[in-house]
Amino acid sequence: MRTTVDLPPAVRRRAEELAAARGQSLSATVAELTIRGLGQLDEPITIEVDERSGFPVMEFGRTITPEDVAAALDDE
């Protein structure tokens, strides 16, 4: 499933740099950072595969904001 997320320019640049350094796509890198960041919130994380698209789907119980992603990137 494709989702549009607005990231501050500095956050996007940092995520792109990290993705390039790891040899990953930007999507894979942002997903990994999101999972790691949310794991620190002591909330259960469930990853399922959408039957139609085959893409991973995560339910967190709340909306992930650009600030959440930025905070996760700052922790690295």
Give residue-wise pLDDT tens across range 60-73: 667 778 888 888 88
Return the pLDDT at 18.
93
| Per-residue tokens: 14 | 């940092």
Taking only the tens place, the pLDDT of each residue in 6-23 is 888 889 999 999 999 999
Which pTM value belongs to this model? 0.52
- What is the token pair recorded at 10? 């500095």
* pLDDT score for 43: 64
User: Which residues touch 60 (CB under 8 Å, ≥6 apart)?
Assistant: 38, 43, 45
pLDDT of residue 23: 94
Does residue 76 or residue 53 have the better pLDDT? 53
